[in-house]
Structure 1
């Protein structure tokens, strides 16, 4: 059997992805992305699940986006259902970068409410990219159940995802603004503020919303107008 130069390069890249040095893994991912080889897709996906370095994971994702969707999509959809949190998170992140709506069915309520914040954040970002036309309102309703969750970064991620859906989120936000949980109410008010005034900034919006909730107000004026 003849061993081609492409075969040799593929073997070298696969070995590099498993190297103990981050710089070598980075170069290997770059090489695979520069000269895409479907035989390397599984290795790229598997490495995403365990790669500890952010900048290497970012390169792995880029390399996967360089391959045909017909090859990457099945592997990423499988990983999005993995028991490993990082595997789910990275698969969802990569699906959001690929942006092919064939992957929409993998965005389940379970992923959108995943106990791991990084997985949930990746699911929110992927959802707003992949959601089919006409299903934005239903997605907003599910996302709104997560309002008030986590720290600032998690809440900011959710607000950005919701705002990306546009005006369709308003009914879900208004409903959440009446929830028993003050954290959910404040987050809903802050997100609506960002929808109306993107330049307000999340910190300002959330602090203003917390004050409104503490005072028992809606944050939208006595007549309920925005």
Structure 2
């Protein structure tokens, strides 16, 4: 008896060659089949190739959210960092706001940078308007974390939230930790001019900090006084 084409394609996800796995994920997504949802989610947790993982995410978005979202939410409790990160990434692509309660503080502050970055991006997509201030407060606890890539992700997530970030920025710009202050100042610069880029924003932050506390306080008052209007204009554009 000949195996159905979808079944053959699905089996290809376990092939040792990434090119075969990529084609298999494409085939499964092209012809969605509810039987494969569990397997797609499981494969996301272990797939080593970035492009195949991205195709797996696409394949999952081709299936009904009612089937995929509960499975992905379960993965957020996995001990495997890649499982949590990829589930978050896929939830952000699906965009079902019913998954918002699953984006916990634990995920937003996850010890694994990739998981945390995925959580920040997903949270910004799913957060209800009335919970944006609380999200901004949690994200602000991560100022100064990690290397450039991680800091860029956090700044972009905060800027995307709009004017609700002002109180959190104000507090962080006077934090005793210089890494926190620098990152917060750079984020404020991005909120006013996203097209300037993160390197420029960090450079400006270093310059302001080098001038001393008085300059930082003056800059903070001037910048945040008008941030309510300016940060709104920055939404949707990333530096």
User: Under TM normalisation by the shorter chain, which class is it?
Assistant: over 0.9
Report the equivalent of 1:225. 222
Output the aligned Cα RMSD.
Answer: 1.5
Of 7, 13, 17 in structure 1, the residue corresponding to residue 13 of structure 2 is 17
Partners of 1:209 and 1:219 within 8 A in 2 = no
Q: How does 1:64-75 map to 2 (within 5 A)?
A: 64-75=60-71
Looking at structure 1, the residues matched to 179 and 145 of structure 2 have their Cα atoms a distance apart, in angstroms, of 8
Q: How does 1:126-141 map to 2 (within 5 A)?
A: 126-141=122-137
Matched, 1:155 2:151: yes
Of 76, 87, 92 in structure 1, the residue corresponding to residue 88 of structure 2 is 92
Gaps of 5+ in 1: none
Task: Give 4+ residue runs of structure 1 displaced > 4 Å after superposition.
Answer: none
Name the structure, 1 or 2, with higher relative contact order (CA <8 Å, separation 6+).
2
Relative distance call for 1:93 and 1:223 in structure 2 (3 A) is closer
Looking at structure 2, the residues matched to 213 and 223 of structure 1 have their Cα atoms a distance apart, in angstroms, of 11
Q: How does 1:4-83 map to 2 (within 5 A)?
A: 8-83=4-79
TM-score normalised to the size of structure 1? 0.94
Summarize deviations over 1:165-198 as a string: whole Å, max 9, x none: 0111011011011111100101001101100111
TM-score normalised to the size of structure 2? 0.89
Does the residue aligned with 2:110 lie in a helix, a strand or coil? coil
Gaps of 5+ in 2: 224-239
Of 162, 174, 180 in structure 1, the residue corresponding to residue 170 of structure 2 is 174
Relative distance call for 1:18 and 1:167 in structure 2 (3 A) is same
Report the equivalent of 1:116. 112
Partners of 2:37 and 2:60 within 8 A in 1 = yes
Looking at structure 2, the residues matched to 223 and 189 of structure 1 have their Cα atoms a distance apart, in angstroms, of 8
Q: Report the more deviating stretch, 209-218 or 91-100.
A: 209-218
Partners of 1:33 and 1:66 within 8 A in 2 = yes
| Number of corresponding residues | 222
Summarize deviations over 1:52-71 as a string: whole Å, max 9, x none: 11000000000000000010
